[in-house]
Protein backbone atom coordinates (compact mmCIF):
# COMPACT_ATOMS: atom_id res chain seq x y z
CA UNK A 1 0.00 0.00 0.00
CA UNK A 2 1.17 3.55 -0.75
CA UNK A 3 0.43 7.08 0.40
CA UNK A 4 0.57 9.75 -2.27
CA UNK A 5 1.26 13.25 -1.00
CA UNK A 6 0.66 15.73 -3.80
CA UNK A 7 1.22 19.48 -3.69
CA UNK A 8 -1.02 21.02 -6.33
CA UNK A 9 -1.59 24.53 -7.64
CA UNK A 10 -4.99 25.73 -6.41
CA UNK A 11 -6.34 26.33 -9.91
CA UNK A 12 -6.33 22.57 -10.64
CA UNK A 13 -7.86 21.34 -7.37
CA UNK A 14 -11.58 21.36 -8.15
CA UNK A 15 -11.13 19.42 -11.40
CA UNK A 16 -8.76 16.94 -9.74
CA UNK A 17 -11.05 16.23 -6.79
CA UNK A 18 -14.09 15.87 -9.06
CA UNK A 19 -12.18 13.37 -11.20
CA UNK A 20 -10.89 11.39 -8.22
CA UNK A 21 -14.41 11.13 -6.77
CA UNK A 22 -15.76 10.03 -10.17
CA UNK A 23 -13.13 7.25 -10.18
CA UNK A 24 -13.96 6.28 -6.54
CA UNK A 25 -10.54 7.43 -5.36
CA UNK A 26 -10.73 8.87 -1.87
CA UNK A 27 -8.73 12.00 -1.21
CA UNK A 28 -8.05 14.28 1.76
CA UNK A 29 -7.54 17.97 0.99
CA UNK A 30 -5.29 20.27 3.06
CA UNK A 31 -4.65 23.94 2.35
CA UNK A 32 -0.97 24.81 2.14
CA UNK A 33 1.32 27.64 1.11
CA UNK A 34 4.95 27.53 0.18
CA UNK A 35 7.48 27.25 -2.51
CA UNK A 36 9.57 29.87 -4.20
CA UNK A 37 6.63 32.11 -5.14
CA UNK A 38 4.73 31.65 -1.84
CA UNK A 39 1.59 30.97 -3.85
CA UNK A 40 -1.53 29.18 -2.65
CA UNK A 41 -1.38 25.42 -2.99
CA UNK A 42 -3.38 22.48 -1.81
CA UNK A 43 -1.86 19.29 -0.46
CA UNK A 44 -3.73 16.10 -1.30
CA UNK A 45 -3.34 12.83 0.59
CA UNK A 46 -4.34 9.66 -1.25
CA UNK A 47 -4.02 6.14 0.09
CA UNK A 48 -3.86 3.56 -2.69
CA UNK A 49 -2.74 0.10 -3.69
CA UNK A 50 0.53 -0.27 -5.56
CA UNK A 51 -1.26 -1.10 -8.81
CA UNK A 52 -3.33 2.14 -8.65
CA UNK A 53 -0.38 4.56 -8.69
CA UNK A 54 -0.12 4.73 -12.50
CA UNK A 55 -3.84 5.55 -12.92
CA UNK A 56 -3.62 8.29 -10.28
CA UNK A 57 -0.47 9.72 -11.89
CA UNK A 58 -2.24 9.73 -15.27
CA UNK A 59 -5.11 11.78 -13.79
CA UNK A 60 -2.61 14.32 -12.44
CA UNK A 61 -0.92 14.51 -15.86
CA UNK A 62 -4.26 14.92 -17.63
CA UNK A 63 -5.55 17.75 -15.44
CA UNK A 64 -2.47 19.69 -14.32
CA UNK A 65 0.15 21.35 -16.45
CA UNK A 66 3.49 23.07 -16.07
CA UNK A 67 3.67 26.78 -16.74
CA UNK A 68 6.31 29.40 -17.32
CA UNK A 69 6.40 32.10 -14.64
CA UNK A 70 8.34 35.31 -15.14
CA UNK A 71 9.44 37.42 -12.17
CA UNK A 72 12.10 39.99 -11.41
CA UNK A 73 14.43 37.08 -10.60
CA UNK A 74 14.00 35.43 -13.98
CA UNK A 75 11.85 32.94 -15.84
CA UNK A 76 10.92 29.64 -14.18
CA UNK A 77 8.95 26.52 -15.05
CA UNK A 78 6.45 25.70 -12.30
CA UNK A 79 4.91 22.24 -12.00
CA UNK A 80 1.14 21.92 -11.77
CA UNK A 81 1.61 19.19 -9.16
CA UNK A 82 4.44 17.54 -7.27
CA UNK A 83 3.80 13.95 -6.12
CA UNK A 84 5.56 12.04 -3.37
CA UNK A 85 4.83 8.30 -3.20
CA UNK A 86 5.56 6.80 0.21
CA UNK A 87 5.34 3.20 1.42
CA UNK A 88 2.46 2.82 3.85
CA UNK A 89 2.87 0.06 6.38
CA UNK A 90 -0.70 0.12 7.64
CA UNK A 91 -3.95 2.03 7.25
CA UNK A 92 -6.78 2.00 9.79
CA UNK A 93 -10.26 3.52 9.81
CA UNK A 94 -11.38 4.17 13.36
Q: Is residue 20 part of a domain?
A: yes
Helices (H) and strands (E) in the chain — how many of each? Answer: 2, 6
- Local confidence pLDDT in tens for the 94 residues of the chain: 999 999 999 999 999 999 999 999 999 999 887 766 566 789 999 999 999 999 999 999 999 999 888 878 888 888 899 999 999 998 888 9
Q: Which domain holds residue 46?
A: 2-87
Q: Is residue 78 part of a domain?
A: yes
Q: Is residue 94 part of a domain?
A: no
What is the domain count for the chain? Answer: 1
Q: Is residue 76 part of a domain?
A: yes
Distance CA 54, CA 72 (A): 37
Query: Taking the complete model, does pTM exceed 0.95, yes or no?
Result: no
Q: Is residue 25 part of a domain?
A: yes
Q: Is residue 11 part of a domain?
A: yes
Amino acid sequence: MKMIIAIVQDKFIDDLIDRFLTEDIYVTRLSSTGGFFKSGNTTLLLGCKDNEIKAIEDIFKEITEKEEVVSEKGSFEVAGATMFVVDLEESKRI
